[in-house]
């Protein structure tokens, strides 16, 4: 089989964190899509996003699945030394959810069986916090996975739509796999995490999902494939070949939730011990994707790294005082490469949007635009 890119039997190591949305990397490997590009790829499981970031920064990994804000944070030098990183492909959207402990829901006087819309449950939480502050109790403690993740920003977004400021609650970092246990022990009162960890926590009955993050930010980039700028510069053909294989994998995962054969096959792959080790998790092939938490891997406007979404993430960083600076800056042009995406998509015969920026918060006629729960419109004067 002839390949489009000259990669010359390149051996690559790519990193992933055991989550459902690591699927594109695992599918690309198991389906032989990397091999078809002449790439010899080994996948390496990592325990933390910090580890992913450091290993990509120092060339121990050639590329990795990343939470969408991480390439930006790394390029800005937030939380670590500044190392320019870049992405040209969004791997997934959705999959995150906010869970509150059953104990807290009881105090909020919310019936776990019929939870109201996220705005109403947020309001209930706000009222509760108002009473709490008069009684001088321990502050509410919520957890996310990384300070530079969509989870973190989505959790704060939900709180702020309910009129709860970041100062009123304590937000800490907890590894996804430890969330359910910490919720059970009462260390935390709620969390925002990616699948399958919300579903697993709900299975263990210590908490209830109050909202999926797709309800908060609809059609939003969640995981991206990122490499260091150095890798992108030094091995451009190899980079394009990896992107091609991954986009094909995303296409394979298209409509997976309505295709039981594909989900069974995917479950079989993900379940393996070197990937997500699902065997004893209680998660079966038919329950791999939680219908309450929409998750998508492919779409005409989904896989392109919108610079407008990057700008919005920068604004979230600014809101939470992680960073200060102008939103429309050259950095976004370097970190987000929709032009490379278009090149890869065109070679595979997929249509791609011709714009780099769009008005975020406008669903559009095709329904593939983004939408914020509070009706926000986010646009930039270019």
Binding site for other proteins (CB under 8 A): 46-51, 54-55, 57-60, 77, 79-83, 144-147, 170-178, 321-322, 324
Based on CB atoms, which residue is closest to other proteins, 323 or 378? 323
In angstroms, the CA 151 to CA 248 distance is 26
Smallest distance, other proteins to C-beta of residue 143, A: 9
Based on CB atoms, which residue is closest to other proteins, 115 or 178? 178
Q: Identify whether the C-beta of residue 92 lies closer than 8 Å to the C-beta of residue 24.
A: yes
The token pair at 282 is: 């209680």
H helices of the chain, in order, are 23-30, 33-36, 49-57, 70-76, 102-107, 118-135, 150-161, 179-185, 197-203, 213-216, 229-234, 236-252, 260-271, 307-319, 330-335, 338-348
Based on CB atoms, which residue is closest to other proteins, 15 or 118? 15
Based on CB atoms, which residue is closest to other proteins, 98 or 296? 98
Smallest distance, other proteins to C-beta of residue 81, A: 3
Which residues does 113 contact at the CB level (< 8 Å), separation at least 6?
none
Smallest distance, other proteins to C-beta of residue 1, A: 34
Based on CB atoms, which residue is closest to other proteins, 5 or 49? 49
Smallest distance, other proteins to C-beta of residue 187, A: 9
Smallest distance, other proteins to C-beta of residue 213, A: 18
Quick one: how many helices (H) and strands (E) in the chain? Answer: 16, 13
Using DSSP bridges, classify how beta strands 190-194 and 140-144 pair: parallel, antiparallel or unpaired. Answer: parallel
Based on CB atoms, which residue is closest to other proteins, 174 or 249? 174
Based on CB atoms, which residue is closest to other proteins, 65 or 322? 322
Smallest distance, other proteins to C-beta of residue 215, A: 25
Listing DSSP states for 206-230 in one string gives SEEEEEEHHHHEET-EEEEEEEEHH
User: For 173-182, b where at least 16 C-beta lie within 10 A, e where not — what string?
Assistant: ebbbeebbeb
Based on CB atoms, which residue is closest to other proteins, 54 or 237? 54
In angstroms, the CA 66 to CA 296 distance is 16
Q: What is the DSSP letter of 327?
A: S
Based on CB atoms, which residue is closest to other proteins, 81 or 113? 81
Which residues does 60 contact at the CB level (< 8 Å), separation at least 6?
13, 54
Based on CB atoms, which residue is closest to other proteins, 146 or 154? 146
Q: Identify whether the C-beta of residue 122 lies closer than 8 Å to the C-beta of residue 162.
A: yes
Smallest distance, other proteins to C-beta of residue 134, A: 16
Smallest distance, other proteins to C-beta of residue 220, A: 21
Smallest distance, other proteins to C-beta of residue 78, A: 9
Q: Cα 11 vs. chain centroid, distance in angstroms?
A: 27
In angstroms, the CA 115 to CA 58 distance is 46
What are the backbone angles phi and psi of residue 160, rounded to the nearest 5°? -75, -30
Smallest distance, other proteins to C-beta of residue 277, A: 14
In angstroms, the CA 110 to CA 128 distance is 11
What are the backbone angles phi and psi of residue 222, rounded to the nearest 5°? -115, -65
């Amino acid at each position: 089989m002839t390949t489009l890119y000259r990669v010359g039997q390149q051996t690559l190591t790519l990193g992933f964190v055991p989550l459902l949305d690591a699927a594109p990397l695992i599918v690309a490997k198991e389906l032989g899509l990397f091999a078809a590009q002449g790439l010899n790829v080994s996948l390496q499981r990592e325990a933390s996003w910090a580890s992913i970031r450091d290993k990509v920064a120092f060339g121990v990994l050639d590329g990795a699945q990343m939470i969408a804000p991480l390439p930006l944070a790394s390029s800005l030098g937030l939380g670590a030394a500044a190392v320019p990183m870049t992405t040209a492909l969004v791997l997934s959207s959705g999959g995150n959810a906010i869970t509150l402990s059953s104990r807290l829901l009881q105090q909020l006087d919310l019936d776990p069986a019929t939870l109201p819309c996220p705005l109403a449950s947020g309001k209930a939480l706000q009222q509760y916090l108002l009473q709490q502050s008069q009684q001088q109790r321990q502050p509410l403690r919520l957890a996310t996975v990384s300070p530079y993740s969509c989870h973190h920003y989505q959790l704060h977004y939900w709180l702020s739509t309910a009129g709860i400021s970041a100062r009123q609650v304590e937000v800490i970092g907890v590894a996804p796999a430890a969330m359910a246990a910490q919720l059970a022990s009462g260390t935390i009162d709620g969390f925002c995490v990616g699948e399958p960890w919300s579903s697993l926590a709900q299975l263990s009955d210590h908490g209830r999902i109050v909202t999926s993050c797709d309800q908060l930010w609809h059609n939003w980039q969640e995981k991206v494939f990122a490499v260091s700028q150095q890798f992108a510069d030094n091995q451009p053909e190899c980079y394009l070949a990896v992107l091609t294989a991954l986009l094909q994998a995303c296409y394979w995962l298209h409509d997976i939730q309505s295709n039981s054969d594909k989900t069974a096959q995917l479950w079989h792959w993900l379940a393996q011990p070197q990937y997500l080790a699902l065997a004893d998790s209680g998660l079966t092939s038919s329950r791999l994707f939680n219908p309450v938490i929409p998750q998508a891997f492919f779409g005409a406007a989904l896989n392109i790294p919108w610079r407008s979404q990057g700008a919005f993430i920068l604004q979230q960083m600014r809101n939470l005082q992680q960073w200060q600076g102008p939103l429309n800056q050259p950095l976004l042009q370097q970190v987000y490469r929709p032009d490379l995406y278009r090149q890869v998509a065109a070679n595979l015969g997929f249509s791609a949007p011709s714009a780099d920026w769009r008005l975020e918060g406008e669903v559009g006629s095709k329904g593939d635009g983004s939408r914020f729960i509070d009706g926000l419109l986010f646009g930039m004067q270019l």
